[in-house]
Amino acid sequence: MKKLIICFVLILSLCLSVFAGDVAEYTDLGFSPDGKYFVFAQYGVTDKDFEPYAEIYTVDVAKNDFVKDAVFKSLPGKSKTGKNGLSVFEELYNKNEATLKKYSGEKASLETTLYLRGPESKGSTEEITFKDFVNSSEEKELFYTINLVKHISGKGKNLKSSFFIGLEQKDAEGNILSRKVIGNPDFERKNVSDYTIRRIIADKTGKSIVFEIEKRIEDEKGTSFRYMVETFILDN
């Protein structure tokens, strides 16, 4: 019995060491009324240090890049020990509310959610297909096929990775009408071991598209999860 208990403790310790880290809470703050901008946030408490943090990002959808004057962060620090991630996020948002309201407010609805990753999903690189509601007609239906392509190299402290999203527009017969690369395949992120598309949403016009992506991070503190987005405008 003692041997079984010891084995169980060792297995439990191993599992905790593998999954140590923290999972950020993702918050969709929405599109600007014209669909040109998208704002999202993430917040939480770091593992082991128990230090709260919050980050708010404003993205220019067409450029697929941050609006530099509308990115706000409250990084982990001992001065905030005792607070939780939500309270730090709320403080950060309230402090910059006037700026953020110019770029957000129109949240995606169920009707403008093009893809939502479910528990039955096979893997982070599985192919995703959704209808092109903007350009489809009764006579001609069009679809988009999405493939996330990643490159991972190194281990431990040398771990780094990059990815891009390959998008193909197809007709109902599967003929490829156009191709597009979303993201920067040459940009390498340190300590990121995986990328997963969690959700694809559109603004109310259906033209501004946002890919919500989960990043898996491996470092000396364990395994953590953070979020980012890639964006683009559907062609007419």
Q: Exposed, middle or buried, 33 (CB in 10 Å: 0-12/13-18/19+)?
A: middle
Tokens of 206: 């259906």
For residue 101, CA distances in Å to 32, 33, 104, 105, 112 come to: 8, 10, 5, 7, 21
Mean pLDDT of the chain: 87
- Above 50 in pLDDT, residue 11? no
Query: What number is the average pLDDT over the span 12-33?
Result: 70
Amino acid at 72: F
pLDDT at position 81, please?
65
CB under 8 Å to 219, separation ≥6 — which residues? 191
136 pLDDT more than 60? yes
- CA–CA separation, 113 vs 103, rounded Å? 20
Q: Among 32-41, 115-124, 201-210, which stretch is predicted with the lowest mean pLDDT?
A: 115-124
What is the pLDDT averaged over residues 1-28? 54
- The band of 133, judged by pLDDT with boundaries at 50, 70 and 90, is confident
The number of beta carbons lying within 10 Å of the beta carbon of residue 146 is 19
Structure tokens at 139: 């006579």
pLDDT surpassing 90 at residue 29 = yes
pLDDT for residue 129 is more than 60: yes
Percent of the chain with pLDDT over 70: 88
Q: Please give the pLDDT value at position 41.
A: 97
What are the pLDDT digits (tens) for 53-81? 999 999 999 999 999 999 999 988 766 66
Strand partners, 149: 164
Residue 139: pLDDT band (50, 70, 90) is confident
Which of 97-101, 107-111, 145-149, 150-154 is least confident?
Answer: 107-111
**pLDDT at 103 > cutoff 50:** yes
Of residues 148, 167, 227, 140, the one with CA closest to residue 192: 227
For residues 40 and 212, is the Cβ–Cβ distance under 8 A?
Answer: yes
Residue 49 has pLDDT above 80, yes or no: no
24 class by beta-carbon count within 10 Å (0-12 exposed, 13-18 middle, 19+ buried):
buried
SS3 of 132, please? coil
Specify the pLDDT at position 236.
63
pLDDT value for 235: 75
Query: 26 or 50: which carries more pLDDT confidence?
Result: 26
Q: Lowest-pLDDT range, 74-83, 105-114, 165-174, 219-228?
A: 74-83
Q: What pLDDT was estimated at residue 82?
A: 72
- The domains of the chain are located at 26-107, 108-236
Question: What does the pLDDT look like over 162-183, one tens digit per residue?
Answer: 999 999 999 999 999 999 999 9
